[in-house]
Amino acid sequence: MTAVPRLLHDSPVLFGRDPTEGLLAFEPLEGSVRAWAREEGRVVSSELPFRPFLLLTDGALLRGFKGDAALAPLDGATGFRWLAVLPSRGEAERAREHCRKATGRAPGAPEAAYRLPGDATHQFLLWTGKTSFRGMIFGDLRRMALDLEVLTTPGFEFPNALRESDRIIAIALADSSGWSRVLSGATQSEAELLAECGRLIRERDPDVLEGHNIFRFDLEYLEARARRHGVALAWGRDGSALSGHPSRMQVAERSISYRRYRVAGRHIVDTWILVQLHDVAARDLPSYGLKDVARHFGVAAPDRTYLPPDDIPRIFREDPARLMAYARDDVVETLALSAILSPPYFVQAQALPLDYESVVLKGNATKIDALLLREYLHQRRAVPQPCPARAVAGGLTALFQQGVARDVVHVDVTSLYPSLMLAEGLAPASDRLGVFSALLRDLRDFRVAAKRLAREAPTEAERLLLTALQQTFKILINSFYGYLGASFAHWNDYDAANRVTAEGRRLVTALLRRLRELGATPIEVDTDGIYFTPPATPPTAAGDADSVDGLLAALGGVLPEGIQLELAGRYPAMLSYKMKNYVLLDAAGKLLVKGSSLRSRGLELFQRRWMEEMFRLLLTGRREEIPALLGRWEEDFTHRRVTVQQFMKTETLQESPASYQEKVAAGKRNPSAPYELALRASRPYQAGDQLSYYVTGAGPRVKVAETAKLAASWDPDAPDENTAYYLAKLRELAEKFRPFIEHDGLRPVEEAEAAAPAQESLDLDA
């Protein structure tokens, strides 16, 4: 497997120009950077000189600055044409503040005439051309997984580390050497657990700490409990403590708020985030929970211990050894999951001027900008200022047919926008060095090589690794188009972005025209992919039993050289509900539900389950059974046979109940059920607590904030849920699908309903 990471190491633009091998982590100091490296099996550290820098449009911006700043011109007539080198990060921040006052522009503003790029580690890697893990393979990393089990105070549904009576009852640790240890709260106090955890981390000395939801739960909980007990979490390789700050990241359409943690000399990788990044491309995960994902990837041990979360307090009291086995299985699965999903980011860390932890957490536009910036600094060329943000015409999206289709084919143009950019020479006008196109070409070659090696892989483990590599680089490659419209990107170019989408629309329109000429029925098109039903007698190709190859060949004939069409999937049935909302039934009988309308978080569990059962009946040709399905659910609600887990909602308090109460009194927000319940509760609730509730009362139209009750108070022997309210929700949902249930087959969408190219913002996550 060593060949894969080395495929493009001869590309200095992509992999950096400094050949130093074995670098593991970096810690900024004043006037230098401490670097940890593995040499002959030992971890050693050294201090490397480094002076931070500012980019300026005019050297005169530092006139009057009382500090030591060395100015040097960069080659170019516009943009950031000056480099100001400072003796320390503190001095660089003072110089930045001087520029802020001189210009009246905030440091992060796209139009600001000065830049202090990234953090000190990022600057160091930009300037030196060094990267992490050069000469290493993923198996060389020493990884340690961590997982907590906690006890929640009776009367509360969810843990909160700030609640004095909650506590840690187990800390499980396991590393990539096969070692594992579970620290038990049955034999040690919470303070002793925290201290021993730190000792083991220092003793085992991992390069990476891993956990499933480690940022948003485990580390926050550990930090809060350590503060309560006065225990220092001195986990750093230099003896420093764990530290954190609020942060957020974008994963596709989801914005995730979390607390970003750092440990000097080590990296932190959250597999909960990794699985979401994987699902952006694969779209095949049943959920993001550890147990479900471990089963999906086949890393769950046949004899692993499963425990009902609600039963953990009892099991801890009565059978603590069983709970410790459960915790051990969690960290072992986390390590195995990371071994599948982390390697692509390990390879990216070998290329990008970002530390490994940042490689996972930063958006693709930021990564592309960093690669361009590194090369321009190396060649001492001026860095462009970002163009002001404006809208860009999007790709072609349209819905042609609604209803149930049989034998559906999904084709897409392989990396449509990147292929167009390379074939047509579409690149930022400000990229005078041609770095953008060179990077895109190298990354495409890397992905093609990874796909080929995946097909030839001798083992399943190697195939999974290579498949993950090509999927990750596919996402990065496809982000080059979005980079053109990112407001913060130094080399953005909205005119080039418009030319790319215009050419993409022309090609997809030609494919649609050709499909119709061949007798196919297009159902939906979304930028570069088309769902359609094939013609009754599709074109044939030699040796092709079902004529799919012949159909692809006939379609591909309308595409120019360098642009390829590929079969993205074939499905026995599809429900086309509305634009970008559909359900697919694959050959294995699995349902793939796409679109926010069909997967809304606002739906209660009983609604999601009814929809899933209805979709399966609809797509397997059993639509006549759907009225009976609805009748069964109605009868179960009427006779109160539905458990509270099916109809409750769970929400998180984003602010304190007191703050909420003040806003309601001032008319700044409407009443909300979870806050009203928190205010009425006998126990104190605070921001970050979660509450599950259900609706009581009589009749379908009630004020939820006034009639809600805590789910924990629901009594199966005396159920008091508002049956009429939930029946109305069920029937309202069923009514939305009535046209699809009653009408078999497809029906054309009115031309006015078919979407046209939309004006869209391409501003990507930073």
Least confident of 141-155, 493-507, 528-542: 528-542
Number of domains forming the structure of the chain: 4
Mean pLDDT of 334-342: 95
- pLDDT tens for 217-249 read 999 999 999 999 999 999 999 999 999 999 989
- Interval 384-419: pLDDT, tens: 999 998 888 888 999 999 999 999 999 998 888 999
Residue 751 predicted with pLDDT over 70: no
pLDDT of 546 strictly over 60 = no
Same domain assignment for residues 179 and 115: no
Q: pLDDT per residue over 74-98, tens digit each? A: 999 999 999 999 999 999 999 999 9
367 and 235 belong to one structural domain: no
Q: Can you give the pLDDT at residue 674?
A: 93
Task: Work out the average pLDDT over 258-282.
Answer: 92
pLDDT digits (tens, 9 = 90+) for 101-140: 999 999 988 889 999 998 999 999 999 999 999 989 899 9
User: What does the pLDDT look like over 635-646, one tens digit per residue?
Assistant: 999 999 999 999
User: Residues 33, 142: one domain?
Assistant: no
Please check whether residues 467 and 534 belong to one and the same domain.
yes
Cα–Cα distance, 491 to 487 (Å, whole number):
10
Q: Is residue 549 part of a domain?
A: yes
Exposure b/e, 667-679, CB count within 10 A at least 16 = b: eeeeebbbbbbbe
From 468, 258, 268, select the one nearest 360 (Cα to Cα): 268
Residues 154, 277: one domain?
Answer: yes
Residue 6's pLDDT band, with cuts at 50, 70 and 90, is: low
Is the pLDDT score of 422 beyond 80? yes
Neighbouring residues of 567: CB distance < 8 A, sequence distance ≥ 6: 409, 410, 411, 548, 552
Is the model's pLDDT at 447 over the cut of 80?
A: yes
Residue 673 in any domain: the answer is yes
Q: Is residue 190 part of a domain?
A: yes
Q: Is the pLDDT of residue 604 over 50?
A: yes
Q: E strand or H helix at 646, and its extent?
A: helix 644-647
Report the share of the chain in percent with pLDDT over 90: 71
Q: Is the pLDDT of residue 482 over 60?
A: yes
Spell out the alpha helix ranges (H) of 51-119: 89-103
The verdict on residue 477 lying in a domain is: yes
Specify the residue for token string 């049943």.
Answer: 286
Kindly report the CATH number assigned to the domain that includes residue 86.
Answer: 3.30.342.10
What is the pLDDT at residue 596? 81
Q: Evaluate if residue 763 carries a pLDDT over 70.
A: no
> Is 500 in contact with 437 (CB distance < 8 Å)?
no
Percent of the chain scoring above 70 in pLDDT: 95
Please report how the helices 219-229 and 190-204 are oriented relative to each other, as an axis angle in degrees rounded to 10.
120
> Which residue matches tokens 């503003």?
109
211: Cβ contacts below 8 Å, ≥ 6 apart: 145, 146, 147, 218, 219, 268, 270, 271, 334
500 and 411 assigned to the same domain: yes
Contacts of 45 (CB under 8 A, 6+ apart): 34, 35, 36, 37, 237, 238, 265
- Residue 584's pLDDT is 96
Same domain, 183 and 110: no
Indicate the average pLDDT of the chain. Answer: 90
Residue 2: is its pLDDT beyond 50? no
The answer to whether 139 touches 178, Cβ cutoff 8 Å, is no
Taking 60 as the threshold, does the pLDDT of residue 764 lie above it? no
What CATH number should be reported for the domain holding residue 510?
3.90.1600.10
More confident residue, 10 or 187: 187
**What domain range is 465 assigned to?**
392-598+750-760
In a domain, 2, yes or no: no
**Model confidence pLDDT, tens digit, residues 688-745:** 677 899 999 999 999 999 999 999 899 999 999 999 999 999 999 999 999 999 998 9
Task: Inform me whether the pLDDT recorded for 505 exceeds 80.
Answer: yes
| Local confidence band at 756 (pLDDT 50, 70, 90 cut-offs) | low
CATH code of 706's domain: 1.10.132.60
Q: How far apart are CA 274 and CA 516, in angstroms?
A: 40
Residue 354 covered by a domain: no
**Same domain membership, residue 712 and residue 564:** no
In a domain, 5, yes or no: no
Query: Dihedrals φ, ψ of 115, to 5°?
Result: -145, 135
Among the listed residues 269, 238, 242, the one whose alpha carbon sits nearest the alpha carbon of residue 176: 269
Using the predicted structure, report yes or no on whether residue 381 has a pLDDT greater than 90. Answer: yes
Question: What is the tens place of the pLDDT at every residue in 28-77?
Answer: 998 899 999 999 889 999 999 999 999 999 999 999 999 899 999 999 99
Residues 175 and 46 in one domain: no
Q: What share of residues in the chain are helix, strand, coil (percent, to 5)?
A: 40, 20, 35
Q: How many CA atoms lie within 13 A of 153 on its CB side?
A: 13
Do residue 531 and residue 573 come from a single domain?
yes
Q: Which pLDDT belongs to residue 752? A: 39
* pTM score of the predicted model: 0.86
- Predicted confidence (pLDDT) at residue 155 exceeds the cutoff of 50: yes
Q: Which spans in 269-362 are helix H?
A: 271-282, 290-296, 312-318, 320-341, 343-351, 356-361
Residues 329 and 185 in one domain: yes
d(CA 260, CA 267): 11
Q: Which residue has the tokens 């006549």?
A: 624
Same domain, 418 and 566: yes
| pLDDT number for residue 9 | 59
Is 184 part of a structural domain of the chain? yes
Tell me the pLDDT band of 759, cut-offs 50, 70 and 90: very low
